[in-house]
Amino acid sequence: MTLEGLLVVAAALFGVGVYGALSQQTFVMIMMGLELMINGAILAAVALWAMSAGGTPKGQLLAVVAMTVMAVEAAVGFALIVGVYRVRKADMTEKLKRLRG
Amino acid sequence: MTGTPGEVMHAAVASAGMDMPVGDVTPELVLVIGAVIVLVFALAAPRRRQPWAAALALAVLAATAVATLPMLDGGQHLTFFDTYAADDVAVWAKLVIVAATALTVALSVEWFRTDARHGEYYALLLLSALGAVVLAGAADLMEVVLGVLLSSATGYVLAAYHRSSARSAEAGIKYYLLGALTNAGLLYGVVLLFGLAGTTTLVGLGDELVGADSTALVAGVGLVVVGLAFKVGAVPAHAWVPDVADGGPAPVAAFLTVVPKVGGLVALARLVVVLPEAGVGWRPLVALLAAATMTLGNLAALWQDDVRRLLGWSAVSQSGYGLMALVALGRSELAVASLLFFLLAYALANLAAFGVLVELRGRADLDAYAGLARSRPLLATALGLAFASFVGIPPLAGFAAKLLLFGAVLDAGYAWLAALAVVNTVVSLAYYLRVVAPTWFQPAVEPLPVLGRWAAMAAVASAAAVVVVGIAAQVFLGSFEAARLLPR
Amino acid sequence: MLSAAIFVPLVGAGVVALLPASWARRARPLAIAVAAVPLVLLLAAWARFDPDGGAGFQLVERARWIPTLGVSYAVGVDGLSLPLAAMSALLFVAAIAFPADVRGRPRTYFSLFLFLEAISLGVFLALDLFLFYVFFDLSLVGMYFLIAAWGHGDARRAALKFFLYTLAGSLAMLLAILGLYLATEPRTFDMVEIIRQQPVPAGGLGSALVLLGFALGFAVKTPIVPFHTWLPPAHVDAPAPASAILAGVLLKMGTYGFVRIVLSMLPATFQRFAPVVAGFAVASIVYGALVALAQTNLKRLIAYTSVNHMGYVMLGVAAAGSSLTGDGGPRAIALTGATVEMVAHGLITGALFLLAGSVWARAETYDLDAFSGLAARAPAFTAATVLAAFASLGLPGLAGFVAEFQVFAGTFAVYPVLAGIGLLGIVLTAALFLRMVQAVFLGPLPERWATWPDINRTEQAALAPLLALVVVIGVAPGWLLDVIDATAGRLVGR
Amino acid sequence: MSRSLLVDLAFYILSAGAVVSAWLVFRTDSMVRAAYWLLVSFVAVGGVLVLLSAEFLGLVLVLMMAGEMTIMAVFMVMFMMNPAGLNPMTMVHQHRAAVGAGLVAFAGLAGVGLVADFPDRAAPSDAPATAELGTELLGDSMLVFETAGVTLLATMIGAIAIASRRGRYGDADAGSLPPELEAPAPKARA
Amino acid sequence: MSGAATWWLAPLALGAALAGGVYLTAVLDRLVARAVAGVPLGVPDALVAPARGAALLLLSPPAATERPDAQSWALAPALLAAVAAAGTAAIPLGPGLAVADVPDGIVLFGAAMALVMVAVFLHGWSANSAMPLLGGYRFVAQALSYEMPLALVLIAVALPAQSLAVGDIVVAQEHIWNVVRQPLGLPIFLVTAAGLGFWGPLALPDAADVAGGTSVEAAGSALLAWRAARAAVLVAAAAMAAAAFLGGWLGPVLPGPVWMVAKTAAVLVAISAAGHLLARVRLERFVVVAWTVLIPLALVDVFASGILAL
């Protein structure tokens, strides 16, 4: 288990997340991609904390902050989906074509 | 011991062993507590009393301003173990945010009158303003992330606040998707910087990043800059601005194009100055973003027939001008002053422009503005003043801002950026006049229906402030000149 | 006193704009009265002005404005600005008094004129670059609204073009001002101080860029070929009094800027590029005259003669700045000539455009082919037009001659070839004016103009002082030359 | 088998699991499975965190994501009108661009991980990580902690404001529209 | 944990303990049921009855639905058992006698219990049938409601110990048990434990009004596995209750592990009794009570113990 290996795994998670966030049409699936990106960030944070930053508690805290971001965005995302679903009866990005230009 | 009274006091407090300098975050505390009070009021008050929450919110903002003002001579220092800056830049940013939020509240009263959730809206508005305030003071990357998060999470909701409107919901979702994407990148960038420096405080970054690996540094800085560009509404994360301006509630659009920008630009400024220029060419990077932002915003605005989208794109291009100040940081004495003055001038002008839009009940149809100068001369004048300030016509506030910005980038050796800004300014005149000209030169028609007194007063007051601030620039510049941008 | 000349019309503009609707009919006399105040004040200033009195500016008034940036409110006059300011004030009174179709919005119309008067005087009187720029830029705004709201034809498009071009120029100038400003130590926008410091030494890219910025800004405003394309539509579509102001006052801001800023603050750099400027000036002279010759539209014709005349001014300025050492005599003469040309052109072209306004009011066309034989029908109109036209083509005994003679006399010593080519312009101008006079006033009177009314009392009263001055300057220019000469001499280092 | 070898083995298995299940999130036909593949990925990452002696963080990650992923699954099933969620649901747009962007992101960040020279300061293996985190939260980074708290509060207010249907005065949606362009009776004059 | 050679022993021991616990649960439940009903206990019969029932289920044919998600369906009971095992792993039977008495023991327990929700929803959903899915939904709502109080009371017991390790928490009760020190803790924990094991009043996901809920389509060995796994969750919860509130292995005369088993059994009896004595609650009511009563009470518990611990 090396730092390089950990960072490559983190990058892979982030990359898959990017793919998911950009390729999916369902909001919830897009959110999954976003969560995966943050998952990669958490892994990278802890890896750097353990292997590069000498175990300073700020590294752990950074991971906690990342989880906060994840939780907050999930909550707001779900709320927005509920809102959109209610007015639109739709949950596909393709149907969001009203605003453009 | 010598020093200003504020410094002495702070030193005394520090030596007294107080590790929780609560006094340094009084405005923030006032905002939090105020938001909760507004929320509780909203939950308890009967429906017809809901608009009173606006008055309550204004009181909270006034209290925040009162709490902020004494900090102007409070000795500029870092606080909370170097995670937060209590410097004049932060104080002024707070004042601008508070003023902009207060004007937004005034714009919102009549707009949301029929909404059953009238009260919670103001609580969210205060919390969103708090997010920008946190950004403006953040001296720690984690604080930056949380500031972005607080400001965004509330922003998404505000943009989608018309819960029965598909357009509003769509604006919120689009804002959210772009925000979540860039936030994830921001996080990863912060992680990389943390890995290099072993800390997240800006002080620590400034010390540790010298000689750090430049690959990781560039990647980290790039991701963080993109993350903050989202808040600022700058390329490459600008796409939400016209959507929110168009689909979101108009007062919210005014708010979201101003307040997060104030926080985001200050946060970005704070970050870039501690970066080692040898390791990462942040200056050309920011210059490039500024150039792309102002140009793209202008070109897109040029083709708009929809006033709301036009205002949105104009807000994008204005972000480009704001970024110019960052390019000059550390190279020109004018940089910090120009940033602050730009923020002030932009906030007022943008609120005036959106204020007129709100007062006209969010009317986006350009043709409907014909003859406005005769049917509603005050509104037409306010709109004209706001746009003239955007262009930088003297002696309005926008002119002094542009003068300072141009001076700063020239001073920093970025003459090409100044020249490009000039070209863009000329281009922008074309689309601003597309709106203003019909209001003056076409015959009057039936007066457009308006919203109400509060919105009209807010719009006119902002426009008047654009004039006053421009002429009385010294009042502000005298203080801006002495403002420090900690930790450098 | 000078401040009052700026602020009285400014306040007057606000008052007129906010007059109650029932007072709308009194807007015009009120505006004339207000507009006359600066004229009186400037005449008083003239009386107190001492042509040989010390170096620099007189009647200076100062106030702190933005000390942080080194910006102050400062006004004052010297032999260059005083005649221009006085001429502008006079022209404004005439333009405001001249009858015009206010399209039911008299209060806004007169308010804008008063606003523009304050701004224009501000440009000529300002002794602070910041203040100068503020007024310079605001002049665009005022003129934009005048053209767009009261113009005819495709007025809004013409106004937009005018605004865009001149704004681009003025922003380039802003950068140049900042370049100057950033080089000062301590930083200041004070013109007197900058002239003393000469902060940007010649040589190097920086000084060239600063010069380029100013040159662009002023060249668009003046305008010099090839930056003139905004001018014909703006003039043609503007209402006549606005055209008069545009040609008579606003164009002068460009040439005035060349002398006041470029020549005074960047003499060494200007000297490097003076031949280029002279080349452009000659191009303007010839091109303006040639194109004017081809016009069938009266107003467009006058507009192009403005390009031509501003070329004379620029030629004089270029000659004045062509050297830093040596005999200053010819260069001082050239500069004096250029200044007189500014004044004379203001009066003459102002009168011509006002007369064009009379034509429009009666015929709703500017087409030269539509007119003929008006001399018999309208003698006063004919006399005024012919006088102005002859003054414009440089007939001896009239103001234009004094100015052009001096310009060419001075320039021959420096750029003999260019001066020679420039003379060609005079010949062409003579030809085109003679042709115009012949076409409009001689020949048979067409049936449709059988009831052509001559210019009325008001029009005559507005035109009279302008034309009288044209004659006075032509016959006895001493009083004017005295004022200008000392300053011109100082500027070229004689 | 030595301990470090064991750790390495666990790391390889867990990280392969994390990445593969992450990929499967977007490759499965079933929404519930997608959500739970994502959970698997998180649990695997949690495992790696435990290997890195950040047990607390790893466990909290699992704790959080278990709830969140289930909610996601519920949402998916509810909003897709497909109760069992077993019908095929490949809904992908701009596939190539997305793959490209994902690859670029991966290559860039992995490149940074491989090429970049991060400081080489390993954490002391016997450090009381959780206690240190607690001390940090209530000490040096107190403000960060408190900001996070306020952010969560704001999120709750916002999410409820926008998502909950029933309000104090009946349907909360009522009147949540922008004002009509034509005012009923324009009284205020500007 | 003790060495490279014996690392495989730990899971084995855990499995054995859990299996014993599950069987014990079944036996106890039968006894409690009879006690509640007032009929003779019939201990010997109760001892073999679970085995008999299990054998019967094993022999009965498996059921099938139309297009189920077969893998998930098969996985769900295993997952439930696995998370129960993971939760139990953190709980020491005696001093140092735990599979993984890790420093973050109660977090491990909490994480494992959070995954219960995943297993149950998966079980309900994968059958591709309406009633199980309804059961799954119910459990999600139920679990989201008890999760917060559960976490809070566990934090409360960690405060006096200044540690998140379950062993340390037990040691900290040397002088006074947490059940006394934090009187609110155990009742709240028991409620959440019942919720965790969807037992008794909170057996909503598998309740009769949804025709058996998540397990309605299950039969035979699958049903047996599901029931056993659910019992394992109960065992884990009971063991945690014993360790966190009842002093764990602490007790006079008898060796520690015996005390631990006894206390766990006692908690199991209590939960089982509640199941037989109390009526099933309605989901909406439970949710409301959880959010408006349990969470505030749990918060009071945390604050009170925090102040006491200072």
Give the tens place of pLDDT for each residue, B168-186: 988 999 999 999 999 999 9
Instruction: Identify which of B417, B405, B289 has the alpha carbon closest to the alpha carbon of residue B336.
Output: B405
- 3-state secondary structure at position A56: coil
Residue C51's pLDDT is 83
Residue D89 pLDDT > 70: no
E5/D27: higher pLDDT: D27
Residue E3 falls within a domain, yes or no? no
pLDDT above 90 covers a percentage of chain B that reads 76
C210 contacts on B by Cβ (under 8 Å) = none
Q: Which of residues 41-80 of A touch D (CB under 8 A)?
A: 42-44, 46-55, 57-58, 60-61, 63-65, 67-68, 70-72, 74-76, 78-80
Pairing of strands D166-167, D170-171: antiparallel
Residues in A closer than 8 angstroms to B247, CB to CB, are 98-99
Q: Does E4 map to a domain?
A: no
Tell me whether C175 touches chain B (CB under 8 Å).
Answer: yes
Q: What percent of chain C has pLDDT over 90?
A: 72
ipTM: 0.90
pLDDT in tens, D125-182: 777 888 888 888 888 888 999 999 999 999 999 998 888 877 777 676 777 888 888 8
Higher-confidence residue: D76 or E131?
E131
Tell me which chains share at least 3 CB pairs under 8 Å with chain D. Answer: A, B, E
Out of D93, D144, D148, the one facing A25 most closely (by C-beta) is D93
With contact defined as beta carbons under 8 Å apart, do E179 and E243 qualify?
no
Q: Is D92 helix (H, G, I), strand (E, B) or coil?
A: strand
Q: Looking at chain D from residue 67 to 106, which residues have their Cβ under 8 Å from any Cβ of chain E? A: 67, 69-71, 73-74, 77, 83-86
pLDDT in the model for residue E1 = 41
Structure tokens at D39: 């959970």
Q: What is the pLDDT of residue A99?
A: 56
Does any CB of chain B come closer than 8 Å to the CB of residue C455?
no
Phi-psi sector, C49: left (phi>0), alpha (psi -120 to 50), beta: beta
Per-residue model confidence as pLDDT tens digits over C359-389 = 998 888 889 888 888 888 889 999 999 999 9
CB contacts of D175 in chain B (<8 Å) are 114-116, 164
Average pLDDT over residues B380-409: 94
Report the pLDDT averaged over residues C39-46. 95
Q: What is the pLDDT of residue A97?
A: 53
Q: Neighbouring chains of A at 3+ CB pairs within 8 Å?
A: B, D
Element (H, E) at C73: strand C71-77
Range of the domain at D151: 133-168
Residues D11 and D85 in one domain: yes
- E114 contacts on D by Cβ (under 8 Å): 62-64, 66-67
Q: Which residues of B touch D101 (CB under 8 A)?
A: none
Average pLDDT, chain C: 92
Domain boundary among D62, D91, D120: D91
- When comparing pLDDT for B443 and D103, which is higher? D103
How far is the alpha carbon of A100 from chain D, nearest alpha carbon, in Å? Answer: 18
Residue D22 to residue C408: CA distance in whole angstroms: 84
Higher pLDDT, B446 or B360: B360
Domain extent at residue E38: 9-309
pLDDT digits (tens, 9 = 90+) for C454-480: 888 999 999 999 999 999 999 999 999
CB distance C182–B399 less than 8 Å?
A: no
The pair of structure tokens assigned to B33 is 């507590």
Question: Where in the sequence is the domain holding A40, given as residue range(s)?
Answer: 3-95
Instruction: For residue range E14-39, list pLDDT tens digits in order.
Output: 888 889 999 999 999 889 988 888 88
Distance CA E221, CA E71 (A): 15
Neighbours of B362 (CB within 10 A): 21
With cut-offs at 50, 70 and 90, classify the pLDDT of residue C451. Answer: confident
Mean pLDDT throughout C32-38? 95
Is D147 within 8 Å of B456 when comparing Cβ atoms?
Answer: no
**Residue B185's closest CA among A22, A93, D148?**
A22
Domain count, chain A: 1
Q: Mean pLDDT by 10-residue block, N- to C-terminus, for chain A (101 residues)?
A: 92 95 87 94 95 88 95 93 74 52 48
* Domain chopping of chain C, boundaries: 2-491
CA distance A6 to chain B (A): 13
Model-level pTM? 0.92
What is the tens place of the pLDDT at every residue in C221-271? 999 989 999 999 999 999 999 999 999 999 999 999 999 999 999 999 999
Q: Are C353 and C244 in contact (CB under 8 A)?
A: yes
Among D65, D91, D117, the domain-final residue is: D91
Q: Assess D166–B contact: CB distance below 8 Å, yes or no.
A: no
> What are the chain C neighbours of B419 within 8 Å (beta carbons)?
175
Q: Per the domain annotation, does D17 fall within a domain?
A: yes
Of E200 and D112, the structure prediction assigns the larger pLDDT to D112
* Chain D residue numbers touching A23 (CB-CB < 8 A): 26, 92-95, 98-99
D-E C-beta contacts closer than 8 Å? 84
* Helical axes C155-183 vs C129-150, angle rounded to 10°: 180
Which of chain A's residues have a Cβ under 8 Å away from the Cβ of D106?
Answer: 11-12, 14-16, 18
| Rounded Cα–Cα distance for residues E192 and A30 (Å) | 33
Whether chain E lies against chain D with 3 or more Cβ pairs closer than 8 A is: yes
Give domain status of residue A7, yes or no. Answer: yes
pLDDT tens per residue, range E221-252: 888 899 899 999 999 999 999 999 998 888 88
Considering only B431-445, C264-278, C469-483, which range has the smallest mean pLDDT? B431-445
Cβ-based neighbour number of residue B270 at 10 Å: 27
Mean pLDDT along residues C416-431: 91
Chains contacting E with at least 3 CB pairs below 8 Å?
Answer: D
* Helix ranges (DSSP H) in C184-266: 191-197, 204-221, 231-237, 240-245, 251-257, 264-265
Q: Are B143 and D147 in contact (CB under 8 A)?
A: yes
| Rounded Cα gap, residues B176 and B168, in angstroms | 12
**Residue C129: what pLDDT?**
94
Band of residue B378 on the pLDDT scale cut at 50, 70, 90:
very high
Q: What's the whole-number mean pLDDT along residues B453-479?
A: 94
Which band of pLDDT confidence, cut at 50, 70 and 90, is reported for residue E210?
Answer: low
Residues D159 and D81 in one domain: no
Could you tell me if B389 and B333 are in contact, meaning their C-beta atoms sit under 8 angstroms apart? no
CA dist B297 and B320 (Å) reads 8
Q: Say what percent of chain E tops pLDDT 90.
A: 28
Question: How many cross-chain Cβ pairs, B to D, lie less than 8 Å apart?
Answer: 174
The answer to whether the CB atoms of B406 and C68 lie below 8 A apart is no
Does C488 score more than 60 pLDDT? yes
